Amino acid sequence: MDRLIKIESASDIPTEYRDTPIGNLLEYHNLKKPFSTYTSAQLLIGMCMDNRKHLNVPDNFAFIIRAGGANLRYSEFKVSFAIAIGGVKHIALIGHNHCGMVNLISKKKTFIEEMVKSAGWTTEQAETQFNAFAPMFEIGNEIDFTLSETVRLRKVYPKIPIAPMMYLVEDNRLYLIKE
């Protein structure tokens, strides 16, 4: 975790993010900054679908796309829509520790058994879906994936500042990732 930057005061926020929606996100969530009122989204947040994460942000402050592992590879039209139609000019990409999209192969047996039991699928249907999609959604290491996804998105949207972050489930705080 030495690759994470703690945000415990406004002065911990790097200058490039201060007085921006990214800095405001860090202040709202970590520092309990009083909420401002928003009539339109200020940024797009890409984060995992994990139910253990909840952001402390004001209403109307952000578009939020939740996808396993904060993997936005298959959500680019939604990202583009938030920029083009929603008017956002900043993106926060938030990975988290203990992510279920890490080491998916270790979850194959449980996945198949539960899809048969809970969804009424055949073993073959469950195995086919797992084999087809697990390689697309495997993220490896959470920090490394968040950084690589940030780099990829910066190439797609070169004018949009994108901040790589981690959410630690133990303390429910956001950290910037050192690049």
Together in a domain, 89 and 62: yes
Q: What mean pLDDT value characterizes the chain?
A: 96
Look at the chain and report how many structural domains it folds into: 2
Which pLDDT tens digit goes with each residue over 16-60? 999 999 999 999 999 999 999 999 999 999 999 999 889 999 999
Together in a domain, 149 and 112: no
Distance, CA of 150 to CA of 15 (rounded, Å): 19
Residue 150 confidence (pLDDT) above 70: yes
Q: What share of the chain is helix, strand, coil (3-state, %, to 5)?
A: 40, 15, 45
pLDDT at 2: 87
Together in a domain, 166 and 126: no
Distance, CA of 1 to CA of 143 (rounded, Å): 9
Together in a domain, 9 and 90: yes
Together in a domain, 38 and 122: no
Q: Give the pTM.
A: 0.94
Distance, CA of 164 to CA of 147 (rounded, Å): 6
Q: In CATH, what number is assigned to the domain containing residue 88?
A: 3.40.1050.10
Average pLDDT over residues 156-169: 97
Average pLDDT over residues 165-176: 97
Domain that holds residue 29: 4-101+140-177
- 1 pLDDT band, cuts 50/70/90, is low
Residue 117 confidence (pLDDT) above 70: yes
Together in a domain, 172 and 86: yes
